[in-house]
């Protein structure tokens, strides 16, 4: 009893559009606890669509198609599915009426092309599209096989999925077993180091524990299957607790907890504020902090001191520090953090100065060398040196630097 997703569209193969439908359907199937092992993308070609149907229908009992339901000659999904299962198409008068009605609402007349969108295989139920002219179908072409079709437009797919497909699947007994996943999130530890610490859990089969890493963050996905959501949670919770104990402060949250959200909540809970001083990130740290709605409760603002003159005039960085240590130095980072705290009257000051590349590096100060400054409510300042490597992209270096700065504050607030 597994599902497969088949996305139809030459534009997907050509990379003209980003395929977000597989992500949407993947999450939805996981939430319903419906196993899903393969996704296929195929172009607008009947023979190849049939190959994909053959392979998927031999492996799975629910086939979910997206795309190819439009009115133009290259929209072939419905007729190809019907042909594969040797079933004739028939025009549905209720769909003709529905399409005409939708055109009338937009003060337009249905074109002859759209008549095609009213054709369905004999025996298929209509999967209504409240937003557009591309209705889908729910069809059982043979025992133990259900086919669903959706348009490729994400908003239409989402609504049709929620309004019709989910109730249908639940009623048919799909997803009686629940698969629940929780993502544990870590900062300040590498994937392999964390993997070594928690390697005992990788052999666990229920829940399973799997690591992945992206732009400096490491995640562990803990997935449990059980008869109920509560049962799955009861399997996940003790594992999560033990992993948190092992990881200590390297663990910062789970699922939707981002570094700015977690750090912001710590500030809000303790009624403290923060201001930033940024050089190489150019405003990225402030943008990250304010990605959270409600950040005005603890974020005062910041000074982007890209030019050294600005560092001196607006942040009070000493000419001496700039001359002797250079703009990319721990001393300047500390003075910037203190300057932000002072100028913006905040409890904490956070600063970043560094070399984001790809140019500007030297043997002594290579691309990827970053200094963070943290000014404390007591008016003291610390610095942290990061070496992010010379091969990373400018944007990645800037992103990781801003995350590290937030992480430093999070650790101090959690201590």
Region 308-367 residues binding a copy of itself, contact defined as CB under 8 A = 309-310, 314, 343-345, 356-360
Closest CA to 172 of 206, 122, 136, 125: 125
Q: How near is the Cβ of 221 to a copy of itself at its closest, in Å?
A: 7
- Tell me how far the alpha carbon of residue 262 is from its chain's centroid: 17
- Choice from 171, 173, 196, 415 touching a copy of itself (CB under 8 A): 196
- Choice from 62, 137, 148, 276 touching a copy of itself (CB under 8 A): 276
140 binds a copy of itself (CB under 8 A): no
**CB of 85 or CB of 306, closer to a copy of itself:** 306
Nearest-angstrom CA–CA distance, 348 and 343: 11
**CB of 193 or CB of 380, closer to a copy of itself:** 193
- Choice from 392, 404, 405, 408 touching a copy of itself (CB under 8 A): 392
Q: How near is the Cβ of 211 to a copy of itself at its closest, in Å?
A: 5
Q: How near is the Cβ of 389 to a copy of itself at its closest, in Å?
A: 5
Annotate each residue in 64-83 with x if it binds a copy of itself (CB under 8 A) or - if it does not, as one string: ------xxxxx---------
- Choice from 135, 281, 383, 408 touching a copy of itself (CB under 8 A): 281
**CB of 8 or CB of 381, closer to a copy of itself:** 8
Strands 217-226 and 251-254 come out as unpaired
Chain residues 141-180 in contact with a copy of itself, contact rule CB under 8 A: 153, 155
Q: Establish how many alpha carbons lie within 13 A of residue 153's alpha carbon, considering only the half-sphere containing its beta carbon.
A: 14
Nearest-angstrom CA–CA distance, 415 and 399: 24
**CB of 258 or CB of 331, closer to a copy of itself:** 258
50 binds a copy of itself (CB under 8 A): no
Closest CA to 356 of 322, 397, 390: 397
Q: How near is the Cβ of 180 to a copy of itself at its closest, in Å?
A: 11
* Number of residues forming the site for a copy of itself (CB under 8 A): 120
258 binds a copy of itself (CB under 8 A): no
- Choice from 18, 86, 245, 320 touching a copy of itself (CB under 8 A): 18
Give the interface segment with a copy of itself, choosing from 89-97, 127-135, 169-177, 232-240 (CB under 8 A). Answer: 127-135
Query: Mind giving me the DSSP string for 179-227?
Result: EEEEEEEEESS-HHHHHHHTGGGGG-SSSEEEEEEETTEEEEEEEEEES
Q: How near is the Cβ of 238 to a copy of itself at its closest, in Å?
A: 21
Nearest-angstrom CA–CA distance, 385 and 331: 11
Q: Establish how many alpha carbons lie within 13 A of residue 122's alpha carbon, considering only the half-sphere containing its beta carbon.
A: 6
Q: Beta-carbon neighbour count of residue 86 at 10 Å?
A: 8
**CB of 95 or CB of 276, closer to a copy of itself:** 276
Name the DSSP class of 350: E
Q: How near is the Cβ of 342 to a copy of itself at its closest, in Å?
A: 12
Residue 100: exposed, middle, or buried by beta-carbon count in 10 A (0-12, 13-18, 19+)? middle
Q: How near is the Cβ of 110 to a copy of itself at its closest, in Å?
A: 8
How many residues in total does the chain contain? 415
Question: 166-189 in b/e burial notation, b at 16+ Cβ within 10 A?
Answer: beebeeeebbebbbbbbebbbbbb
18-24 contacts: CB < 8 A, separation 24 or more? 20/154, 21/66, 21/67, 21/150, 21/152, 21/154, 21/157, 24/154, 24/157, 24/158, 24/161
**CB of 147 or CB of 292, closer to a copy of itself:** 292
Strands 145-150 and 62-66 come out as parallel
Phi-psi region of 381 (alpha: psi -120 to 50; beta: other; left: phi over 0): beta
**CB of 139 or CB of 201, closer to a copy of itself:** 201
229 binds a copy of itself (CB under 8 A): no
What is the signed CA dihedral for 176, 148, 127, 82, rounded to 10 degrees? -140
Nearest-angstrom CA–CA distance, 39 and 136: 19
- Choice from 398, 405, 406, 408 touching a copy of itself (CB under 8 A): 398
291 binds a copy of itself (CB under 8 A): yes
Annotate each residue in 82-111 with x if it binds a copy of itself (CB under 8 A) or - if it does not, as one string: --------------------x--xxxx--x
Q: How near is the Cβ of 122 to a copy of itself at its closest, in Å?
A: 25
Q: How near is the Cβ of 123 to a copy of itself at its closest, in Å?
A: 27
Give the interface segment with a copy of itself, choosing from 80-88, 238-246, 272-280, 317-325 (CB under 8 A). Answer: 272-280
Nearest-angstrom CA–CA distance, 409 and 221: 25
384 binds a copy of itself (CB under 8 A): no
């Amino acid at each position: 009893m597994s599902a497969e997703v088949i996305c139809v569209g030459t534009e997907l193969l050509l990379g003209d559009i980003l395929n977000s439908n597989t992500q949407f359907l993947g999450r939805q199937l996981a939430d319903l606890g419906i196993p899903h092992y393969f996704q296929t993308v195929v172009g607008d070609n009947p023979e190849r669509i049939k190959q994909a149907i053959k392979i998927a229908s031999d492996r799975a009992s629910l086939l979910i198609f997206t795309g190819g339901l439009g009115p133009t000659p290259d929209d072939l999904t419905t007729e190809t599915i019907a042909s594969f299962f040797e079933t004739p198409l028939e025009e549905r008068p209720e769909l003709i009426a529905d399409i005409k009605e939708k055109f009338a609402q937009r003060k337009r007349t249905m074109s002859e092309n759209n008549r095609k969108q009213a054709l369905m295989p004999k025996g298929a139920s209509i999967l209504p599209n409240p937003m557009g002219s591309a209705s889908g179908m729910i069809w059982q072409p043979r025992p133990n096989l259900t086919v669903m079709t959706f348009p490729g437009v994400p908003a239409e797919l989402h609504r049709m999925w929620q309004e019709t497909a989910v109730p249908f699947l639940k009623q048919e007994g799909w997803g009686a077993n629940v698969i629940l996943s929780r993502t544990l999130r870590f900062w300040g530890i590498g994937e392999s180091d964390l993997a070594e610490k928690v390697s005992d859990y990788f052999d666990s089969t229920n829940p399973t524990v799997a690591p992945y890493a992206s732009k400096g963050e490491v995640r562990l996905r803990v997935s449990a299957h059980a008869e109920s959501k509560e049962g799955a949670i009861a399997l996940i919770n003790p594992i999560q607790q033990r992993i948190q104990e092992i990881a200590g402060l390297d663990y910062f949250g789970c699922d939707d907890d981002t570094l700015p959200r977690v750090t912001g909540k710590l500030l809000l809970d303790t009624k403290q504020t923060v201001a930033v001083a940024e050089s190489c990130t150019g405003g990225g740290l402030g943008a990250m902090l304010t990605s959270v709605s409600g950040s005005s409760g603890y974020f005062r603002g910041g000074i982007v001191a890209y030019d050294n003159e600005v560092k001196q005039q607006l942040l009070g960085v000493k000419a001496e520090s700039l001359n002797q240590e250079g703009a990319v130095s721990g001393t300047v980072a500390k003075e910037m953090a203190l300057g932000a705290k002072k100028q913006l009257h905040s409890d904490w000051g956070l600063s970043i100065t560094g070399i984001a590349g790809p140019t500007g590096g030297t043997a002594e100060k290579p691309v990827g060398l970053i200094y963070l400054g943290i000014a404390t409510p007591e008016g003291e300042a610390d610095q942290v040196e990061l070496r992010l490597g010379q091969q990373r992209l400018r944007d990645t270096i800037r992103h990781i630097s801003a995350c590290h700065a937030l992480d430093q504050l999070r650790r101090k607030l959690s201590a």
